[in-house]
Amino acid sequence: MCLLVVLHRVHVTAPLVVAANRDEFIGRPATPMGLLQEAPRIYGGRDETAGGSWLTFNQHGVFAGITNRPGAPRAPGLHSRGEWPIALAKHPTASIAAEAFVSAFKPREFSPGWLLVGDSTELFHIDMTGDTATVRALEPGVHALENVPLDVASPKSVAARAAAEAVLAQPWDEARDGLAALLRSHEVPAGAVGFERVDGMSIPLETHARCVYAGPYGTRASAIARLEAGHIGAIWWTDGPPCTHPFTLLEGVGDGRG
């Protein structure tokens, strides 16, 4: 159950801030944050089982991230949702990316999920759970997307949003530390419940924490990014759960302010 928290044109010093956890089965191989392709330069982690990525950033300051709708395993013949963030990051702005995406991708060819794609001026939500892809522009604010629809106030998304709102007036270094603490939290919010998927797999209560430890499943990687007009400000990342792995600045990327 992944988590995307986006501060869209509300932080005192940064027009767009992204904080994200990737939750996945522990044994599923992946390559950590790095350069995925040139022209344009796209950065992200890579899923080595199905290919693609869960979170990408490009040289123009565009990001794209996905969360999955829990359900049955991917049916034979369907494409990997990991294609989505890489496709979106090939464009110079979020609006161009969203428009191109809905023309090129059909929900029936993938397992269902949701995306956020944004830059310093615009943020879009893309729903890939229906018959057709739908795009919605989001207002400035703090947005938290987990493995439920964006408009559902789940205990996890509500807790994440509240923690993010606490850093809005802080200088960037302090805000970054606050977002790291947000991503490290093992607290299961009030009102969270476990459930059983349609394929019979149990979803334990621990998956409602922001940093997940649930047996063979858990938080595998984290990222905090500051995106500026037309470029990446900085990307901090972990190759492992953020509670035990320190955030590292992605070298050679950004404006040098961290």
In order along its 258 residues, the chain shows pLDDT tens digits of 599 999 999 999 999 999 999 999 999 999 999 999 999 999 999 999 999 999 999 999 999 999 999 876 667 789 999 999 999 999 999 999 999 999 999 999 999 999 999 999 999 999 999 999 999 999 999 999 999 999 999 999 999 999 999 999 999 999 999 999 999 999 999 888 776 555 556 678 899 999 999 999 999 999 999 999 999 999 999 999 999 999 999 999 999 888
Distance (Å, whole) CA 164 – CA 3: 12
Distance of CA 71 to the CA centre of its chain: 19
Nearest Cα to Cα of residue 148 among 235, 60, 207, 213: 207
The answer to whether domain 3-249 has CATH 3.60.60.10 is yes
SS (H, E, C) the chain: CCEEEEEECCCCCCCEEEEEEEEEECCCCEEEEEEEECCCCEEEEEECCCCCCCEEEECCCCEEEEEECCCCCCCCCCECCCHHHHHHCCCCCHHHHHHHHHHHCCHHHECCEEEEEECCCCEEEEECCCCCCEEEECCCEEEEECCCCCCCCCHHHHHHHHHHHCCCCCCHHHHHHHHHHHHHCCCCCCCCCCEECCCCCEECHHHHCCCCEECCEEEEEEEEEEEECCEEEEEEEECCCCCCCCCEECCCCCCCCC
Rounded (5°) CA angle 14-15-19? 75
Residue holding tokens 């794209």? 64
User: How high is the pLDDT of residue 169?
Assistant: 98
Cβ atoms < 10 Å from Cβ of 39: 7
Distance CA 169, CA 17 (A): 13
Distance, in Å, from the CA atom of 228 to the CA atom of 206, rounded to the nearest integer, reads 35
pLDDT for the residue 89: 99
Q: Give the pLDDT of residue 55.
A: 99
pLDDT value of position 77: 85
Spatial CB neighbours of 77, under 8 Å, sequence gap ≥ 6? none
